[in-house]
Structure 1
Amino acid sequence: MNRWLLAGWRAVDVVYRNCRRFDFADYQGDNLFRVIVKPYNGPDVRVGEKWLRKGDRVGELHLYNYRLLNIVSVMTSEVQMGLVALREVRKSLPLLADFLKRSPQGRAIEALVGITILHRGAASLGFSVFDLEDSWYKRVKTFYMRLMLRICHPIGYRRYAEKGEHPSPKRVVMMRDTFFRKYGQKPAGVTN
């Protein structure tokens, strides 16, 4: 990736994070996620044996795109990029669990929810994946996320186009108890 593009992305990211007011953001560390704690505004969904309903407190996940791009920008292999991205996500989830345990906002949430075009590996991480309802919101998100994919990962975008596929964002959800069972056993950095 062009280093000028990466520098531009960083400048845009500073404006974005100041507008969004994240409840959790690890700008000095290694976490790829940022979180806004807010009422859930999507349709009611059944996740395992539980329901996530409109108005429930959720941690809205936002991927720290600049950090991820900075990590994978020096790689040339698509497979290597995917493996490194997955490793970084797996490394970030226990750090996120630590925030949820320690902060009053984090303790109030019932689920983690995100909208992503990078949903293929989400189920293996423990997330349930749902289609977005057809709306202006879905159309805007689809346009924005496809544009990001085209800019950040042109080879991956071309691969979709060659197969006649059109990547579409989906809602990923993991209930609090499932999240802590998978990622919250010990604070981040504890090895024994």
Structure 2
Amino acid sequence: MMRRLIRAWDRLVRKLLAIRPVREGGVLGYSLRRYPGRGLETATGARLRRGDLVLELHLDSRLLAESAAGDTAHKRILRLRRILLEDLKALARQVEADPRLAAAAGLWGLTLLHRGVGFLGFTVAEPDPGTGGRLATWYMRLLLTAYHPEGEDRLQHREEELIAREIFLPMAEFRARYGSRARGG
């Protein structure tokens, strides 16, 4: 019963936030919004400031769980990596075709799945110490228990690792990495 309630709530939140899927069969969605955080800076010196326009990223927990059903943890990680790479390339094509999306400072999100996103080009940062980060962590943990095959067990054994973090990829770096120039076309 609780899982159904969490899943229904997740569908409602996705609708309210106007999250658009990047592509059919992908797990990544996005919405164009203003950055609500306190600001951050990447190792390359790119800055994100409160109020900057960002492509806010969202993982579709249901699709992610369905795509990884029955796999070992290692296979789930490899599958997620492959799907995310394809999703980011598809999003880059949309950015190249839509000036509204191209005007964003970059890709930003809050996630529990921040370990290992450096290979995708993202900078990982602590979120605001206030309520927003704690609420995001709580909500994402609920999603984890509702969708992940080992959700409740994973939460009990790794709770201290499952803290939401901000991820950011500046637009110039995103386009250089995933855009048509990076793909040779």
Report the TM-score, using the length of structure 1 for normalisation.
0.82
Extract unaligned runs of 5+ from structure 2: none
Q: Aligned runs of 1:133-152 on 2, under 5 Å?
A: 133-152=128-147
| Aligned residue type for 2:52 | D
| Aligned residue type for 1:18 | K
Extract unaligned runs of 5+ from structure 1: none
Tell whether the 8 Å contact from 2:22 to 2:91 is kept in structure 1 after alignment.
no
1:115 match: secondary structure: strand
Partner of 2:126: 131
More displaced, 172-181 or 51-60?
Answer: 51-60
1:20 matches 2:20: no
Partner of 2:55: 59
Partner of 1:84: 79
Partner of 1:158: 153
Q: CA deviation at 1:120?
A: 0.7
Q: CA deviation at 1:118?
A: 0.5
Tell whether the 8 Å contact from 2:35 to 2:51 is kept in structure 1 after alignment.
yes
Q: Aligned runs of 1:25-64 on 2, under 5 Å?
A: 25-26=20-21, 29-47=24-42, 48-64=44-60
Q: Aligned equivalents of 1:179 and 1:113: distance in 2?
A: 11
1:181 matches 2:176: yes
Report the TM-score, using the length of structure 2 for normalisation.
0.84
% identical equivalent positions? 27
**Which of 96, 102, 111 is matched with 2:106 structurally?**
111
Q: CA deviation at 1:160?
A: 6.0
Alpha-carbon RMSD across the aligned residues, in angstroms, is 2.9
The verdict on how the C-alpha distance between 1:111 and 1:139 changes in structure 2, with shifts beyond 3 A counting, is same
Q: CA deviation at 1:162?
A: 3.6
2:160 match: secondary structure: coil
1:68 matches 2:56: no
Q: CA deviation at 1:106?
A: 0.7
Q: Aligned equivalents of 2:172 and 2:74: distance in 1?
A: 32
2:144 match: secondary structure: helix
| Aligned residue type for 1:173 | F
